[in-house]
Structure 1
Amino acid sequence: MEIELQEIHDFIAAIPPFDRLQDDILNALTTAISIQYVRRGGDIPADKDAPPTLHILRQGAIAMYSGKDNLMGMLGEGDICTSFCAADVMPDFYVKATEDTLLYSIPCDQLSKLVEQDESVLHFIRHSAAQRLKEAVSDMQEQSSSNLLHTYAGDICRGELVTASPDISIQDGARLMSEHGVSSLILMEGSSPAGLVTDRDIRKRCVATGLPVDNPMHKIMTRKITSLNASESLFDALLVMTRNQVHHLPVFDDSGLKGIITTTDIMRQEGLSAVHLTSTIRKAESLEALVEASKMLPRIQLQLTNMGADLRHVGFAVTAVTGAITRRLIELAEIQLGPSPVPYAWIAAGSQARREQTSHSDQDNGLIISDKLQPGDDEWFESLARFVNDGLDACGYIYCPGDVMASNPKWRQTVSTWQGYFEKWIEQPEPMALMLSSIFFDLRVIHGKEKLLNKIRKKILVKAPKNQLF
């Protein structure tokens, strides 16, 4: 097989559902694929009379619309746009490239013939992401067991570990990743990892910014690496990935760096797993899609209990899904409202902040807004809070009986106002202050600027030790 075809073959072979195809079908699919390069802002397809086509994103990003600029969703590297193949494709549906984009494309009819013997792949092609989400929820509700708790990170860290020096050039590092067929590179200083670079980092921090490729990799690497111990389960890996919104986890054992696992590795273990569901939540195009996703929570809790998971595991799993739904609601709100006038942080309190939620807990949340807030800016934040709180209620997270929610102006305030709240609770600890502090001392940022909460915490750390109650 020619080098170019081999690269296409290897890339597709790593992406569900094509990773389950037999070699002869995968080879036929590879040779049938055409490569398209679309400039930022370009239409997909460029020819409106082109036959319905499935597109696999090799590089770049696309946005999907219906009607007049009604954004339905966005896809990035490794994602598959099946919308043109779906039976229910809308007549006013269209797609634009939001970055310079490289596509692997194949007409839907031709692809269907190639995979007609594999019902699961054929089903994937002919259904939209929203339909697959609904069916994924249904499938998850029918599952009664899982092997994620009983498979360990060290068990699937096999194969060659690809590392390099932080001083290797971006071009040489990318070439090394391509040669070994990996999507990430661990950069080592001696025997210790200094950072991690993924395909996405190269695209976003180098190509998109115009950074010359002869620069060293350490210019674009992620320095704060989220990692996992080899003895931890894939369920733990799932929680870490979901909580930190990462797709690559270096794995360590007593001897040091053992390997790296990805979301694809976990998906291969579990099929339509919670990883896949959480990923789909992040791409949900509407509140209705998120409501469908939320229906799985009671079953997840029961399923985990039946598997012998402890309370910590159950709380982490439920809270991870809650966090994913909350973040997607915020993103959908920002699509409607436009960018925020000043920086902010959406915060969770109580059981969600402690990652101890059950299905379905009530809401405890708020907004910390930059002190740069100007008169009139709060209208934007009120609309955001109303959208998210109403959305969470529709997803089964009922309104807080005590109205501790961002839609309440009292809990939608600037950094300095929040600092004043905590100072009063610490200095005048009457019963109401103690009740509120029991909720808000466990704050955690779900979306937005962590530094806004850190400013408040610095004040608390100075004040709290002076009161014996804290």
Structure 2
Amino acid sequence: MIQSLLPNILEFIHNIDPFDKLPPELQMKIAGSVSISYLSRGEKIDFYPGDPKRYLYIIRTGVMEQRKPNGVLRAKLGPQDLFGFTFLDDHADGEESYSAIATESTLLYLIPHEALQKLLEEHPEYAEHFASQAQIRIQNALNVVWSDNDKGLFVKKVSEISTTFPAVVTSDMTIQEVAHEMRNVVRTSTAVIKNKGRIVGVITDRDLTKRVIAEGVSINNPISDVMTKSPLTVGPNDLVLTAASLMMQNNIRSLPVVSGHKVHGLITPFDMVQKNRVQAIFLIDTMKRTKTIEKLTELTSERQAIFEALVEGKVRSEIIGQVMAMIYDAYNRRILQIAEEKFGPAPCKYSWIVAGSHARNEIHISSDQDNALIIEDSATEEDLEYFKEMADFVCQSLAKCGFTLCSGNFMASNPKWMQKLSVWKKYYQGWITTPDHNTLLNASVFLETRSIYGEASFCDTLHQHLHKLISQNKNFLSILINDATSVSPPLGIFNNLVLEKGGENSNTLNIKKYAITLVVDLARIYGISVGCTSTNTEERFRFAHKKKVLSEDALKNIIGTYRFICQLRFTHQFEALRNGDEPNSNIDPQSFGSFERTHLKDAFRIISNLQDAARLKFSGA
């Protein structure tokens, strides 16, 4: 390299990820090793395992296309983009060969494999920035931007803060014996009751006061006469916020911490509130005591403040989604309770269900409404009129509280989505057995549902019906994969491809349409293929890995990618709120720096590769 060019090369790589993570002296070593190559339009570089001449390439000017051996586009690259990571690792395997073709005159900086390898051996703390595997680079990006340090209650598990242990007794013990165990032996306010090793009930000191002393029940009676049967419990690995929500929504003061039928401890409000004050808990508690819709709407700013605190506090994306869904649930339940107070008790059993991202617990600050009503089959026309009035009230009230009406009208206020259980079964029958474009749209919304109020068994019955239909109609999966992969990730995003045209979002990238939805669709397909009952995106991928239809590398790749693109959306929405703008999923690519550009390209390629794998695996299912 001509030494006079060194300052120019150093200045160029100084602000490019991942070189900007290196100290100045290492940047100088890298710049000093660079050679320069010029490609005319149509010239190409072939990459194949075992190539003795390996480089990491930086595009100085021009445009390159990476294409797989079958000619399929792998990525489209422009100035400041890097390629050649894969073949830097002597031990890398599983990556196919590809070619990089200049689509216009292109100037490249080449960093020799040997020089980079030597530098990283001397300074291993920087190795992950140059890892050959995309998932390692993406995970490293997540660690840089979104760490878990000092995030408090948002990332804590129940096992980390539960400090007390309940008495564990048997159902044939007398009330007096249990009270003695609680007071004199374990010194606790709660007892977990077992029968033949299985948890069958729970009792608290308050229960004993109300159910025994106040009612004059003999203390020689068995504890099974007064215990709370089929008690709510929480797992040791559940989020503390999940336990808080259960307590406040069900008006209980303690939760046994169990796995299977093993008792690990007890979690109480003292553990959560006194030791770990957090705004989300108080917001949910406030909603529970709020009497009017008008007062609920006044809490919208607090919901926004919690979202901003989560994003600014660098909490992981999946936890942000869970917390925001928990708050959404609390709004929805309280509005339903107010509706029942306004219109009177429901004339028959019903279940208010949520769908889509709300059902998956993957909510963000601008999530709209996806909800529906499942009504008991015995309902009369007069009953249906009650539910129509109630559903209109609930959906409009949610909108007043900041949960916008669904543009596709997938809401309980739409008579089509306010139906008896038998009608819902017929809907699913049609969607699964004779799918077309319109029915696939409906199915894509209601393939994930969750009951948040009312008769939860109706939703469970519908889930069982759905899984049975899918197992009997194998062709549905292949139709679903063809529809789900009809949109490709934006491999050429920084060359002004796949940008929105016209309107207020012109020349922006819809990160939901071209990335997040693609991953959600793939998770749905992989989950359905192995009979996964969870609706959560990450859990579906993990279950598919457990069933050996998704490799460990593919699992790490796609989960890392999903978290990264979700967090990009959260950051975009956070900045919009701070600027007084309406938060959405449309991001201006010009706002991305080298860091985002580099990792987005890795993410888009991972999504594209998994789409290809899914087509091969499921198209003929």
Same fold per TM (> 0.5)? yes
Matched, 1:257 2:263: yes
On the 8 A contact 2:190/2:204 being kept in 1, the answer is yes
Give how far 1:279 is off: 1.8
Query: Match of 1:391, as an amino acid?
Result: S
Give the structure with the higher percent helix. Answer: 2
Q: 2:230 pairs with 191, 198, 223, which one?
A: 223
Taking structure 2 as the reference length, the TM-score comes to 0.47
The 2-side partners of 1:168 and 1:255 are apart by 19
CA distance in 2: counterparts of 1:254 and 1:337, whole angstroms:
41
Q: Distance in 2 between matches of 1:233 and 1:458?
A: 27
- For residues 296 and 194 of structure 1, the distance between their equivalents in structure 2, rounded to whole angstroms, comes to 39
Within the alignment, does 1:352 sit opposite 2:344 as a pair?
Answer: no
Cα shift at 1:182: 4.1
Q: Distance in 2 between matches of 1:316 and 1:149?
A: 10
> Paired residue for 2:393, among 387, 403, 418?
387
1:21-420 alignment to 2 at 5 Å? 147-149=152-154, 152-159=157-164, 161-170=166-175, 172-174=177-179, 177=182, 182-188=188-194, 193-198=199-204, 214-219=220-225, 220-229=227-236, 234-235=240-241, 237-238=243-244, 241=247, 247-251=253-257, 257-271=263-277, 273-420=279-426
TM-aligned CA deviation for residue 316 of structure 1: 0.7
Whole-angstrom CA distance in 2 between matches of 1:209 and 1:325 = 36
Matches of 2:425 and 2:419, distance apart in 1? 10
Matched to 2:368, the amino acid is D
Gaps of 5+ in 1: 1-144
TM superposition shift of 1:360: 2.9
Equivalent in the alignment of 1:435 = 441
Return the letter of the residue paired with 1:456: L
Task: Please give the alpha-carbon distance, in whole angstroms, between the structure 1 residues aligned to 2:326 and 2:451.
Answer: 13
Tell whether the 8 Å contact from 1:239 to 1:316 is kept in structure 2 after alignment.
no
1:239 shift after superposition: 5.6
- Residue of structure 2 in register with 1:121 after alignment: none
What is the SS of the residue equivalent to 1:228?
Answer: coil
Separation in structure 1 between the aligned mates of residue 255 and residue 310 of structure 2, nearest angstrom: 23
Shift of the alpha carbon at 1:276?
Answer: 2.6
Query: What is the identity, as a one-letter code, of the residue corresponding to 1:250?
Result: P
Structure 2 distance, partners of 1:373, 1:203, is 41
Asked if 2 retains the 8 angstrom alpha-carbon contact of 1:164 and 1:188, the reply is yes
Return closer, same or farther for 1:170/1:384 CA change in 2, 3 Å cut-off.
farther
Contact 1:263–1:275 under 8 Å retained in 2: no
CA change 1:170–1:448 in 2 (3 A) is: farther
Aligned to 1:399, the other structure's residue is in SS state coil
Which residue of structure 2 lines up, in the alignment, with residue 69 of structure 1? Answer: none
Q: Aligned partners of 1:296, 1:365: CA distance in 2, in Å?
A: 23
Report if the CA contact (8 A) 2:322-2:362 is conserved. yes
Change (3 A) 1:255 1:417: closer
Inter-partner Cα distance in structure 2 for 1:160 and 1:444: 32
Instruction: Say if 1:287 and 1:391, in contact at 8 Å, map to a contact too.
Output: yes
Q: Structure 2 regions of 5+ residues with no counterpart?
A: 1-149, 478-621
TM-score of the two chains, using structure 1 as the length reference? 0.61
CA distance in 1, matches of 2:350, 2:467: 22
TM-aligned CA deviation for residue 370 of structure 1: 0.4
Q: CA 1:225–1:375 in structure 2 vs 1: closer, same or farther (change >3 Å)?
A: closer
Change (3 A) 1:158 1:444: closer
> Deviation digits for residues 173-212 of structure 1, max 9, x if unmatched?
4565566774421224577644322356557877899876
Post-superposition CA distance 1:211-249 (Å, at most 9, x none): 7664422343333542221x6653454466568775423
Please give the root-mean-square deviation of Cα atoms over the aligned residues, in Å. 3.3
Larger mean Cα displacement after TM superposition, 344-353 or 280-289:
280-289
For 1:373 and 1:299, how far apart are their aligned partners in 2?
42
Shift of 1:309: 2.0
User: Counterpart amino acid of 2:426?
Assistant: G
CA deviation vs aligned residue, 1:282-337 (integer Å, no higher than 9, x gap): 12111122112232222222222233322211111001011111111111111121
The answer (yes or no) to whether the contact 2:166–2:188 under 8 Å persists in 1 is: no
Supply the distance in 2 between the matched residues of 1:292 and 1:302 (Cα, whole angstroms). Answer: 17
Q: Secondary structure at the match of 1:347?
A: strand
Q: What are the Cα deviations for residues 323-363 of structure 1, in whole angstroms up to 9, with x where unaligned?
A: 11111111111112111111101110111111111113111
Taking only the aligned residue pairs, the percentage that are identical comes to 30
Question: Aligned letter for 2:235?
Answer: L
Once residues 455 and 209 of structure 2 are traced to their aligned partners in structure 1, the CA distance between those partners, rounded to angstroms, is: 24
For 2:365 and 2:213, locate their aligned partners in 1 and report how far apart those are by CA, in whole Å.
43
Number of aligned positions between the proteins: 326
